[in-house]
Structure 1
Amino acid sequence: MVEHVGAVPRVLLVDDDPAVAQPLARALHREGLQVSVAGTGAEALESLDDRPDLIILDLRLPDTDGLDICRQIRRAGHRMPVLILSAHTDRMDTVVGLDAGADDHVTKPFRLPELLVRIKALLRRAAWAGATG
């Protein structure tokens, strides 16, 4: 269970593959998170108005590259953590994603317990940063 104080953490899951998005959204919900799913980059950008606490972002989207979405999120001044979830296994892809503004990178297929721990860590750090300035 994700530990939190106050409101339930909101996660925006951006993935166009229902075989990944639906079970992951259910697992995150079971962990006590409020989950919204976007299947395109355009939907993801529109969902920023809901001020998610964390974004899980696939790199391959039908309308744009996830890296471009990550860059747009950062250029717009949004500071919420972004975790890239990608089938790309090349180390350079990880470096490029982090350089684009992502906070973490997990490769598909992933182990759910590891992904959940990374999500908890990102939410914890974001809460600390928000509490201190």
Structure 2
Amino acid sequence: MKEKDRDNAKSVLVVEDDRDISEVVSFILENEGYHVQTNCDGHLFPEDWKDRPSLILLDIWILDVNGGDICDRFKHDPTLKDIPIIMMSANRDLSVIAYNCKADDFLSKPFDIQLLIDKVARLIA
């Protein structure tokens, strides 16, 4: 992505400890025109962000961190609650987990590429 295009792009933060999945998701979303940042350890400190993301794609388990807890914390923080969060997992209880932590949507792994694109576009629009 060109520098000037990056300035106008919506940004997505991908929080995923599986580097292959993180790279595939980044590639897909960058091809759709999004600026993608990644985080592989789940330790999210908004004060350290260079750019506030327009959306967060968050795995349920990132190393020793519970993504549901991260989502719940963000959704109860007045300064962060408006950032849409899509929970990702192969867990069969994903819809319940996403509902309980107030995620905006969820995406089951393995995921359909077009479904990923559609969900991100809908929540960032």
TM class by shorter chain equals: 0.7 to 0.9
Aligned length: 116
Instruction: Pick from 63, 85, 89 the counterpart of residue 88 of structure 2.
Output: 85
Following superposition, the deviation at residue 10 of structure 1 comes to 0.6
Structure 2: how far apart are the matches of 1:49 and 1:41?
16
The structure richer in helix per residue is 1
TM-score normalised by length of structure 1: 0.80
Aligned to 2:32: 31
Aligned to 2:116: 115
Q: How large is the Cα RMSD of the aligned pairs?
A: 1.7
- What secondary structure is seen at the aligned counterpart in 2 of 1:101? coil
Give CA deviations for 1:77-108 in whole Å, capped at 9, x if unaligned. Answer: 21110001111123xx3123122120001100
Residues 1-133 of structure 1: pairs in structure 2 closer than 5 A? 7-42=8-43, 44-46=44-46, 48=49, 50-77=51-78, 78=80, 79-90=82-93, 93-124=94-125
Percentage of identical aligned residues: 30
TM-score normalised by length of structure 2: 0.85
Letter in 2 for 1:80: I
Structure 2: how far apart are the matches of 1:23 and 1:49?
23
Q: Which runs of 5+ in 2 are unaligned?
A: 1-6
- What secondary structure is seen at the aligned counterpart in 2 of 1:119? helix
Q: Which runs of 5+ in 1 are unaligned?
A: 1-5, 125-133
